[in-house]
Amino acid sequence: MTDSPRSMRKTALALLLAATLLPACSPDQGGGSPSATPTASATASDSPSADTETSVPAPAPEPSAAPSGPGQGNAELSIIVTTAEGEPETSYTLVCTDGVPAAESVHPAADAACSALKENAGLLSPNTPGTAQACTQQWGGPQKATVTGVVDGVPVDAAFSRTNGCEIGSWDAARDVLGVAGGA
């Protein structure tokens, strides 16, 4: 079965439209600059009429907040842990260079924390609330923690709690970084 001339024109127009909307390659990569106007081969008969389908380019995927997998093991973090409502906060400072704690670290398990960050650079990027992830509705305790700073050049501003299965999982994964008071 062959396509009708009208169908082929629609396809050609869609391809032309897509080609003009694609970003050009940078000059170092053998590309040129995109043309702001359609090519001379596009004519008025090729333009869509009111009953012709048009397409809109899909939005670009959102970039991930942090890498996952092994990292360099460089970190400068401030960690605050609250074990229960009304209890005093416990604060730690963690500074790691190549997965090894620096002298200025004030952390009960600095070796384990720096090692954990080198093994998984995205460890402090828990899933954001509201994502389509299903979480068990269980309560793991009143503990809360915040971690701010930088890991391998990526800013970190993470909050942890134990109010549902997903948050408990994120807490448990970051347990070494959260410190002794961070365990439940």
- Specify if 102 maps to a domain: yes
Residues 101, 15 within the same domain: no
Average pLDDT, the chain: 73
Residue by residue, DSSP assigns 124-177 as: T-PPPTTSS---------S-EEEEEEEETTEEEEEEEE-SSHHHHHHHHHTHHH
- Specify if 153 maps to a domain: yes
Mean pLDDT of 168-184: 79
d(CA 182, CA 79): 10
Residues 98, 14 within the same domain: no
d(CA 66, CA 154): 7
Please report the pLDDT score of residue 134 as a whole number. 76
pLDDT tier for residue 2 given thresholds of 50, 70 and 90: low
Residues 80, 20 within the same domain: no
Residues 42, 84 within the same domain: no
What DSSP state is assigned to residue 75?
E
Residues 104, 175 within the same domain: yes
pTM of the model: 0.58
pLDDT at 161 > cutoff 60: yes
Residues 93, 139 within the same domain: yes
Count of CB atoms within 10 A of residue 170's CB?
20
pLDDT tier for residue 98 given thresholds of 50, 70 and 90: very high
pLDDT at 147 > cutoff 70: yes
- Specify if 69 maps to a domain: no
Residues 104, 166 within the same domain: yes
Rounded percentage of the chain residues whose pLDDT exceeds 90? 35
- Specify if 130 maps to a domain: yes
Residues 91, 160 within the same domain: yes
Q: Which 3 state secondary structure label does DSSP give 11? A: helix
pLDDT tier for residue 10 given thresholds of 50, 70 and 90: low
Residue by residue, DSSP assigns 76-124 as: EEEEEEESSTTSPPEEEEEEEETTEE-TT-B-TTHHHHHHHHHH-TTTT
Residue 87 belongs to domain with CATH number: 3.30.350.10
- Specify if 62 maps to a domain: no
Please report the pLDDT score of residue 61 as a whole number. 36
Looking at the structure of the chain, the number of domains it has is: 2
Residue with the bigger pLDDT between 180 and 102: it is: 102
Range of the domain at 160: 75-182
pLDDT at 137 > cutoff 50: yes
Q: What is the pLDDT of residues 42-62, one digit of tens each?
A: 444 454 444 544 454 444 333
- Specify if 95 maps to a domain: yes
Mean pLDDT of 99-124: 92
- Specify if 64 maps to a domain: no
Q: What is the pLDDT of residues 56-87, one digit of tens each?
A: 444 433 334 444 567 889 999 999 999 888 99
pLDDT tier for residue 15 given thresholds of 50, 70 and 90: low
Residues 18, 97 within the same domain: no
Residues 13, 81 within the same domain: no
d(CA 171, CA 145): 9
pLDDT tier for residue 139 given thresholds of 50, 70 and 90: confident
- Specify if 55 maps to a domain: no
Residues 82, 173 within the same domain: yes
Residues 96, 39 within the same domain: no
Please report the pLDDT score of residue 40 as a whole number. 44
